[in-house]
Structure 1
Amino acid sequence: MPETALDTEAEPEPESGPVPPGPAALRRPMLLAGGALLAAGAVTVGVLTVGGSGGSGHSADAAGGPRHTTVEVGPSGCGRGWRHAEPGRQVFDLRNTSSTAAEVYLTDAKTGAVYGEVEGLAPGTVRAMRVTLGNGSYAFKCLPDDADAVTGPTVRVTGGGSVKSGPAAVPVTQQDLIPPTLAYQKWIQARTVELVQKTDALRDAVDRGDLAAARAAWLPAHLVYERMGAAYGTFGDADAVINGTTAGLQDGVRDKDFTGFHRVEYGLWHGESASSLRGPADRLARAVRALRDSWPDQRMDPADVGLRAHEILENTLQFELTGRTDYGSGTNLATARANLDGTRVLLGYLRPLLRTRATGLPGIDSWLDRTQRTLDSFQHDGHWTPLAELTRAQREKADSDLGELVERLADVAALTDVRRTA
């Protein structure tokens, strides 16, 4: 598995040619789910092996690869087996000798920054942690399930010369994420007020029977909602009422449960009368008002905020750039642009945490700018080009730029994932 995008130093502005989209859909589970989680890209996790490690100590890889060291994981022997420290690329074969599953960190003994991480190491199993270490002091930290963390002995690496350690990041705690989460909640509150105003304008136009004005009012209102993507999980059932699609509805666009922005969109661009749209527009306006009124009592989960920074544009790739959410207005690219705005806002609140952890943050900013320029090029005199009217080259560029950005944002999700420290 290659190192993650945040491992790189500050990057120059990308060149203008198309870049094939990265494997974002595959990469996220590797980073965020199941058996292992990469901390700042400094560790690669091997395949889970049932049984013991077959020995301890040091050995060379059969193919002449990096040096292997078997390290014990357990409350009474955390880090045992690492005695002859050497600099450079190496593999720690982590063997869980305890009776419970555990997380394992390789940390900077002074700062607590994590160089490598393995989650869910089951009893009697071994996993490989690959790292590059320069001169410094290191220690393994073992975190058994339902037990306190245990820090192993400090091991000093010397003689590294010009060898530099791989990237490391101080773990983010729940407490660290509370301030940006609260700030983002306040931003959402202001957006709900704006959403009510613009949705009322849409409803009023429908009530007057002015469908041209309603079509003009639909997109500005919808885009306000689309910029609020990191809060959708907290909206609960309100999200489906306000912005649901026909997915899973037996009668499709005729289903009684098809409501919200897309229900009104379908009617406005498929010749429905004003009288038939008054009910859907009014229900949308009432749902938006209910969201505004209930939001001050809602509480976003700080542990989810970093993941949302990645999910917003992941969903954009899945739904907007495929046209799955187009019910006649042809404004998927405008929605994608609003989703990009929402991602920027959330990253702004997370930036104080990322500055000291994400060495690839300048690269993310560059790809945000590049993707914005690409999307903006599809707007002319206030009109957004429908997906179906893009040339093949334009589609490829939009897909590749957004795909690369989504891949890089997966590292933000990994770095802001809440980790145990005790």
Structure 2
Amino acid sequence: MIRPRIPRSRRVLLAAGGGVLAAGTVAAAVLVPSGARNGAAAQGPSDGLPHTAVQISASMCGDGWLRPHGGLQVFDVRNFSDSPAEVDLTDAATGKVFGEIEGLAPGTTRPLQVTLGNGSYAFKCIPDDADAVTGTTVTISGSQAVSGPAALPVTLQDLIPPAISYQKWIGDRMADLAAKVGALKSAIDSGDLAAARSAWLPAHLVYERMGAAYGTFGDADKAINGTTAGLAGGTGDPHFTGFHRIEYGLWHGQSASQLRGPAAQLADDISQLRASWAQARMDPGDLGLRAHEILENTLQFELTGRTDYGSGSNLATARANLDGTRTVLAYLRPLLTSRDPALPQLEAQLDRLQHTLDSFDTPSGWTPFDKLTLDQRERVDADLSESVEQLAQVAAVFDVRRTS
């Protein structure tokens, strides 16, 4: 399940290291080397890389880049305007972004590290309160370097079609969810708790595959799939409802009469969610982030046992979460294929994770996480952690940027 989290900060693509780093990585102010103030390349004081001082203002962007050269290098970008601005270094022909600085405050200088090969480049400045300004196109030739990672910016309009399609997919799953919860409720109502225990996991896994929609579900998600976190009364708290409330009762000896109320409430909550879904509107800008967050939360909650209330089904939930991640990626694929050259490696990594998880689905049921050997735990953790790390690139690629 997707848990509430601190609002995201912009992730930026940096050529050095070829990965995704938090925006804070480039946030520290730096001193512009004196030898670079005239636009010439100079050796940085500590990193040993060539530095070029460039300037932005209300009317110019990237001024001072006078002697272009290829290779790994740093631009020390200073804001001479009166307002913060985002600064992107772009491919002048395609608009792909090689590096960005978000929220460059007036009077400050920050570094932008990139690797550039032959081609044409231009800085684009996007002030908080004005239209974008594109600087002079600069051409690099005769370089042996290969340009570092770059991504074509994604706009909100790009993401609307996959968001609509994904929202329809969620709506189509609602009938299956309602049917399986209905079977769970019927088993509890009839007093057949063995049948209820068998029905609980299939119903829960349908919900767990809907991971990218939880933010749109709002308060319904906590009612349907919440835990005891933050509840003063713990498992006895009246606000502890939904799948995990029923799970606790089924695996801790509660009677059918004690579980009929929670089962009826879960069925009603599902019914209300299903009825309201047609009027719900997902935020298209969240899709890429959710593709990363689903397994990030799996790592945080399922592999720690924090969501296990007796069924021992954390690994089954992790497998369902992987299905949910792949569903989101499938809807994003038309946009992702041309933007993320590492997509084949990500798909191979997700295959590896799937193979690992499927090995714990035995004829007698899913192996409880706390029954894994140390080697098995380390393998699950390593495969899931690597998947989460690679999915961070997807979140970065689909971080919606202004282009004008």
Pick the TM interval, shorter chain: over 0.9
1:197 corresponds to 2:173: no
Say if 1:363 and 1:42 are closer, same or farther in 2 by CA, change over 3 A. closer
Structure 2 CA distance for aligned equivalents of residues 155 and 37 of structure 1: 22
Alignment of 1:178-193 (within 5 A): 178-193=160-175
Deviations 1:119-172, CA, capped at 9 Å, x for gaps: 011111111111111111110000011100000000111111x32111221100
Question: Counterpart amino acid of 1:168?
Answer: A
1:289 aligns with 2:265: no
Deviates more, 1:74-83 or 1:345-354: 74-83
Q: Does 1:381 align with 2:356?
A: no
Match among 142, 153, 156 for residue 171 of structure 1: 153
Residue in structure 2 matched with residue 256 of structure 1 by the alignment: 238
The 8 Å contact of residues 364 and 409 in structure 1, kept in 2 or not, is answered as yes
Q: Give 3-state SS (helix, strand or coil) of 1:38's partner.
A: strand
- Matched with 1:157 is 140
Over 3 Å counting, the alpha-carbon distance change for 1:365 and 1:64 in structure 2 is closer
Residue in structure 1 matched with residue 342 of structure 2 by the alignment: 360
SS at 2:147 equivalent: coil
Shift of 1:109: 0.7
Residues 10-409 of structure 1: matches in 2 within 5 Å?
33=9, 37-38=12-13, 41=18, 46-49=26-29, 55-58=37-40, 59-62=42-45, 65-160=48-143, 162-381=144-363, 383-409=365-391
Matched-pair contact (CA < 8 Å) for 2:171–2:277: yes
Secondary structure of 2:63's aligned partner: coil
Asked whether the equivalents of residues 73 and 96 of structure 1 are also in contact (C-alpha less than 8 Å), the reply is yes
Please list every run of at least 4 consecutive aligned residues from structure 1 whose deviation after the TM superposition is greater than 4 angstroms: 39-45, 50-54
Identity of matched residues, %: 63
TM-score (norm 2): 0.93
In the alignment, structure 2 segments of 5+ residues that lack a partner are none
Query: Which secondary structure does the structure 2 equivalent of 1:49 belong to?
Result: coil
Contact 1:189 1:296 in 2 (8 A): yes
- Give yes or no for contact 1:102–1:121 (8 Å, CA) kept in 2: yes
State the partner residue of 1:17.
none
Aligned amino acid, residue 413 of structure 1: A
Q: For 1:39 and 1:211, locate their aligned partners in 2 and report how far apart those are by CA, in whole Å.
A: 55
1-side partners of 2:322 and 2:57: how far apart? Answer: 44
Task: Tell me the distance in 2 between the aligned counterparts of 1:63 and 1:257.
Answer: 56
Question: Alignment RMSD, CA only?
Answer: 1.9
Please state whether the residue corresponding to 1:37 is helix, strand or coil.
Answer: strand
Higher RCO, 1 vs 2 (CA within 8 Å, ≥6 residues apart)? 1
Gap change, CA 1:385 and 1:64, over 3 Å in 2: closer
CA distance in 2, matches of 1:205, 1:278: 10
TM-score (norm: length of structure 1)? 0.90
1:378 Cα offset (Å): 0.7
- Taking the aligned partners of 2:169 and 2:14, their CA distance within structure 1 comes to 29
CA drift of 1:50 comes to 7.4
Equivalent residue pairs, number: 392
